[in-house]
């Protein structure tokens, strides 16, 4: 999520979106801005274009944006499709991991989607195994934030997401 991982002064979000050199990152950042500006339809339209992108990071961002914008629009079946896309990214990387960082991003995105939707995470690989491969804002989180089943609870994951946004700049090779 390039825009969430950026910093900008109030009123400069669109200028920040426009500053992304990579077209895919710029488009996903625009979709984020639409979503957080209560323009879910525009967000969905852009995110849909990246659901099958070869870039795993754009795909994961698109899946999250597509799912949550469709929930906002009252389209639960389309939202499920976006969440399935995130799960497919994980299954593909489990079978043939392109990198530890990509695998970690897939695991994290799955936890994020499942926790925010209040769904069980017990079939996911333990997130703690992938923390060293996530951006600094996430992999430095104290291990004590996990619950007794060695899984992260909702509050811990939400806090971690917030920390990632605050501490980690968008870096396509490690996000």
Query: Would you say the pTM of this structure is higher than 0.75?
Result: yes
Q: How far apart are CA 94 and CA 115, in angstroms?
A: 20
Closest to 5 (Cα-Cα) out of 28, 39, 38: 28
CB neighbours of residue 54 within 10 Å: 8
What contacts 50, CB < 8 A, 6 or more positions away? Answer: 24, 27, 28, 58, 59, 61, 62
Question: Residue 166: its pLDDT value, please?
Answer: 34
Question: Residue 120: its pLDDT value, please?
Answer: 85
- Cα–Cα distances in angstroms (integers) from residue 29 to residues 14, 21, 24, 26, 153, in the given order: 9, 11, 8, 5, 28
Question: Residue 116: its pLDDT value, please?
Answer: 84
Question: Residue 137: its pLDDT value, please?
Answer: 60
CB neighbours of residue 103 within 10 Å: 21
- Residue 139 has, within 13 A of its CA and on its CB side, a CA count of 15
Q: Which burial class, exposed, middle or buried, applies to 150 when counting CB atoms under 10 A from its CB (0-12, 13-18, 19+)?
A: exposed
Question: Residue 173: its pLDDT value, please?
Answer: 32
Question: Residue 135: its pLDDT value, please?
Answer: 74
Q: How far apart are CA 126 and CA 19, in angstroms?
A: 36
Question: Residue 119: its pLDDT value, please?
Answer: 84
Q: What is the mean pLDDT of each run of 10 residues along the chain (175 residues)?
A: 86 95 97 95 98 94 95 93 92 88 91 86 88 70 41 45 40 32
């Amino acid at each position: 999520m390039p825009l969430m991982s950026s910093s900008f002064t109030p009123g400069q979000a669109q200028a920040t979106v426009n500053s992304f050199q990579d077209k895919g990152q710029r488009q996903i950042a625009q979709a984020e801005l639409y979503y957080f500006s209560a323009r879910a339809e525009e967000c969905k339209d852009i995110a849909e274009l990246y659901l099958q992108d070869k870039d795993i990071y754009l795909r994961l961002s698109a899946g999250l944006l597509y799912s949550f914008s469709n929930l906002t629009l009252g389209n639960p079946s389309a939202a499920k499709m976006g969440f399935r896309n995130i799960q497919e990214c994980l299954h593909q990387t489990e079978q043939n991991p392109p990198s530890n960082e990509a695998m970690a991003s897939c695991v994290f995105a799955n936890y994020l989607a499942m926790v925010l939707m209040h769904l069980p995470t017990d079939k996911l690989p333990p997130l703690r195994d992938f923390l060293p491969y996530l951006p600094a804002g996430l992999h430095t989180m104290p291990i004590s934030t996990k619950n007794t089943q060695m899984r992260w609870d909702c509050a811990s994951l939400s806090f971690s997401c917030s920390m990632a946004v605050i501490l980690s700049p968008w870096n396509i090779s490690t996000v």
